[in-house]
Homo-oligomer: A and B are copies of this chain.
Amino acid sequence: MLGTAVAPGLRPDMAADEENAPAAPVRTITDLARLAGVSAGTVSRALAGNSLVNDQTRERIQALAREHGFRLNQMASRLRRQKTGVIGVVIPLGHDRRQQISDTFFMTLLGFLADELTEKGYDLMLRRVIPDRDKDWLDRFIGSGMVDGVLVIGQSDQFERIEEAADGYLPMVVWGNHQEGQRHCVVGTDNRLGGKLAAERLIAGGARRIAFLGDTAAIEFAARHAGAAEVAARLGATVEVLPTHLAPDSSAAEVADHVAVRGQDFDAIFAASDAIAVYALRELGKRGIRVPDQVRLIGFDDLPIAAQTVPALTTIRQDILGGAKAMVDLLLRRLAGEETESLVLPPRLILRDTA
């Protein structure tokens, strides 16, 4: 029952293995099957663990696998099982070609997504696309057979294309702005409300002429502006857009320009993101304009830097961690076939020293 149960062919094999040190490479499940003296099917089941193989056989095979450092070929496994265990994450760089993938907000979100997906046992395939160059970016990713589902970080200016893709593809969740009646599942901050909170705070502090620093071609930013404009109109203030793009090498200069040329015309600045706000803060400081006495300033995102500037930045916080968790959760439910609703997260005004 014990030693005698071992297949006769096994002994010589093991002897050979111990003598000829150059251990035979055990690459496939078939190699392992030969070593163990069983069939490939049994090895497969044994490695899967929860199957109907004899306990002793299973343990013997698993030990052998460990000993030889055997790993399943995931490509084959995934082909056969028709699922990949991989979630695709796309960052479309659309509305501003100069924007880099290294955008702090998106990278932070990406980090949390990586954590969450790892936690749930999925791998993450990252792709950065420039939609203008590659019209087909989303379908290509979806249809590649490489991923079970897709997370899109930022709608950029690709709202319509995402809508179209969503019509035929369930397992997709997007970070971005929610619009009435849209068809794709989105997780994101209530940007409009965020804009309102910012404007209310600025106006309550005495501001009447607000500059909005940001690029309203991006739908999220447009919503932030719209919220601020609505409040301003109601309370007798104005909001003017000074277009500012999110490119590491030019943002600072654009902001400096705005402050130089139009600085006198405003008593408050609402920056579309903390990154922009930091540039503005620095430029104001350089010119000796006191914040918040002469100009009030509010940012958006609440990135770690926001708490570290001097004076510390008042800003609108987005719940990045919560958003990442929600995206993954919704995606997994969609993978299971559920038609999930979009989720709009409330922004929060973080009071610090600039407004």
Contact = CB atoms under 8 A, between A and B. Distances in A.
Per assembly, the copies of the chain total: 2
B114 A128 contact: yes
A101 interface: yes
A128 B139 contact: no
Interface in A303-345: 304-305, 307-310
A266 interface: no
Nearest to A249: B304
A159 interface: no
Given A79-B75, A140-B71, A143-B69, A282 B310 contact: yes
A100 B139 CA distance: 32
Given A79-B75, A107-B107, A114 B126 contact: yes
A285 B310 contact: yes
B118 A74 contact: no
A128 B115 contact: yes
A139 B69 contact: yes
B145 A73 contact: yes
B79 A101 contact: no
Contacts of A89: 126
B285 A308 contact: no
A125 B125 contact: yes
A64 to B, nearest CB: 15
A248 interface: yes
A273 to B, nearest CB: 13
Contacts of A69: 139, 143
B304 A282 contact: no
A144 interface: yes
Contact of A308 (B111, B126, B128, B252): B252
Interface of A: 69, 71-76, 78-79, 84, 86, 89, 100-102, 104, 107-108, 110-112, 114-115, 118, 123-129, 139-140, 143-146, 248, 252, 278-279, 282, 285, 304-305, 307-310
